[in-house]
């Protein structure tokens, strides 16, 4: 089902994100996590795509398995950094063959040690908007999502500029925005208010990272630029609290974050599962309990 149709229903839209693992063990864990989350009946699941990376074919394989064999509604991520038109065409063709109707159109990041400019070489796609426009021209039947950044994009010098670029992606035909993870709901509410003010009218879905493994979270936020609030960092750095208690606290904290968002008229929630089921499942059940 097309994502844009999901938002025309009364119900909140819940989705789970997975990434293509690099090892056989990782793959087993991934499929176990998907099976364990499947009965929560997500409205869609999304599969990330390694920008200029080695897991690109794996991404399509996983999309195929989830959409065709497991019968889940998929949104496939695609990053255009360094891509040629032929490569994008081939990806879109593969999605059509698999009957995938949704795509998250992204620019992606350059690999470590390579500048964005180097990564762009020989590619007609400079920004995600170029991909959105291209898909609209070549395969307009896809429902398109794009990324948004409540705290501003890490490379962008101002939140206003970051929002203007988001508006351009929406004006080019994106049906929804999925946000980068964030921990301070005020960042999201302010982002949404300013987005609406400049005429972004499509659903904006908060991206939620369950707080389970704090060290891993620190690594992820260092890459994407999301801010971990001081009180959270202080709590997880305490040595007098057991790992079990920290885990419980993390789940309670994320649940409270989701509850507040849901109480303020958001269209749905997108969970970054990190290919694990337990924290997402627990939070989801608490929200629906
Ligand atoms: C929900 C979500 C899912 C993601 N999934 C993946 C994934 O599967 N694989 C992956 O590799 N990465 C993924 N990412 C990370 C993403 O690729 C990076 O954040 C990347 O740096 C930016 O991608 P974008 O699509 O937002 O790019 P863009 O929208 O192109 O923005 C990139 C930068 O360029 C600026 N910009 C945009 N348009 C213009 C313009 N016309 N002129 C000047 N500057 C401009 C923006 O302000 C921003 O600073 C995801 C991010 C999110 C939020």
Considering the entire predicted model, what is its pTM?
0.97
Measuring CA to CA, how many Å separate 81 from each of 85, 87, 108, 159?
11, 11, 6, 22
- Cα of 232 vs centre of ligand 1, distance in Å, is 27
Q: In this structure, which residue's CA is closest to atom 36 in ligand 1?
A: 165
Distance CA 171, CA 103 (A): 16
Ligand 1 atom 50: residue of nearest CA: 147
Q: 24-30: which pairs have CB atoms within 8 A and are 24 or more residues apart?
A: 26/275, 29/275, 29/276, 30/62, 30/275
Q: CA dihedral in degrees (263, 268, 272, 273; nearest 10)? A: 90
Residues 170, 177: contact at Cβ < 8 Å?
Answer: yes
Q: How far is the CA of 289 from the centre of ligand 1 (A)?
A: 35
- Ligand 1: residue of 20, 124, 165, 205 to mutate (most ligand atoms within 8 A of CB) is 165
Taking the C-alpha atoms of residue 134 and residue 125, their distance in angstroms, rounded to an integer, is 9
What does the alpha-carbon distance between residue 233 and residue 8 come to, in Å, rounded to a whole number?
39
Alpha helices in 73-199 (DSSP H): 85-97, 116-120, 128-138, 159-171, 185-197
Question: Is 162's C-beta closer than 6 angstroms to any atom of ligand 1?
Answer: yes
3-state helix, strand, coil in the chain (%, to 5): 50, 15, 35
Q: How far is the CA of 175 from the centre of ligand 1 (A)?
A: 16
Given this model, what pLDDT does residue 116 score? 74
pLDDT 10s per residue in the chain (289 long)? 999 999 988 899 999 999 999 999 999 999 999 999 999 999 999 999 986 666 788 999 999 999 999 999 999 999 999 899 999 999 999 999 999 999 999 999 887 777 777 877 788 999 999 999 999 999 999 999 999 999 999 998 999 999 999 999 999 999 999 999 999 999 999 999 999 999 999 999 999 999 989 999 999 999 999 999 999 999 999 999 999 999 999 999 999 999 999 999 999 999 999 999 999 999 999 999 8
Which residues lie across from 76 on neighbouring strands?
47, 103
Q: Is the CB of 106 under 6 A from ligand 1?
A: yes
Residue whose Cα lies nearest atom 12 of ligand 1: it is: 108
Q: Helix count (H) and strand count (E) of the chain?
A: 12, 8
Closest to 30 in 3D by CA, of 43, 13, 48: 48
Ligand 1 centroid to Cα of residue 155, in Å, is: 9
The residue with tokens 């992204």 is 106
Contacts of residue 123, defined as CB under 8 A and 6 or more positions apart, other chains included, come to: 80, 81, 82, 83, 84
Kindly state the helix (H) or strand (E) to which residue 144 belongs, with its residue range: strand 143-148
Residues 275 and 265: their CA atoms lie apart, in Å, by 28
Which letter, b or e, does each residue of 125-147 get, where b requires 16 or more Cβ atoms within 10 Å of its Cβ?
bebbbbbbbbbeeebeebbbbbb
Domains of the chain: residue spans and CATH: 12-288 (3.20.20.220)
Point out the residues that are catalytic: 17
Token couple for 64: 């195929």
């Amino acid at each position: 089902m097309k994502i844009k149709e999901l938002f025309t229903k009364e119900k909140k839209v819940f989705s789970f994100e997975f990434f293509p693992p690099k090892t056989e063990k990782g793959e087993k864990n991934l499929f176990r996590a998907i099976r364990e989350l499947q009965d929560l009946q997500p409205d869609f699941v999304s599969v990330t795509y390694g920008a200029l990376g080695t897991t690109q074919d794996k991404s399509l394989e996983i999309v195929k398995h989830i959409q065709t064999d497991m019968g889940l509604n998929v949104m496939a991520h695609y990053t255009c950094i360094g891509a040629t038109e032929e490569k994008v065409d081939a990806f879109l063709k593969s999605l059509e063959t698999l009957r995938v109707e949704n795509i998250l159109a992204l620019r992606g990041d350059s690999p470590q040690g390579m500048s964005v400019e180097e990564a762009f070489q020989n590619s007609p796609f400079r920004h995600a908007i170029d991909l959105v426009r291209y898909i609209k021209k070549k395969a307009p039947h896809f429902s398109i999502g794009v990324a948004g950044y409540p705290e501003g994009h890490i490379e962008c010098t101002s939140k206003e500029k970051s929002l203007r670029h988001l508006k351009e992606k929406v004006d080019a035909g994106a049906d929804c925005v999925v946000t980068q993870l964030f921990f301070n709901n005020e960042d999201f509410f302010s982002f949404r208010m300013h987005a609406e003010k400049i005429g972004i009218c499509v659903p904006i879905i908060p991206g939620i990272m369950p707080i389970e493994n704090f060290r891993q979270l620190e690594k992820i936020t260092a890459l994407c630029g999301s801010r971990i609030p001081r009180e959270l960092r202080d709590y997880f750095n305490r040595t007098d609290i057991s790992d079990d208690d920290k885990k419980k606290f993390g789940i309670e904290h994320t649940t409270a974050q989701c509850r507040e968002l849901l109480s303020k008229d958001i269209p749905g929630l997108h969970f970054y599962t990190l290919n694990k089921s337990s924290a997402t499942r627990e939070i989801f059940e608490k929200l629906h309990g």
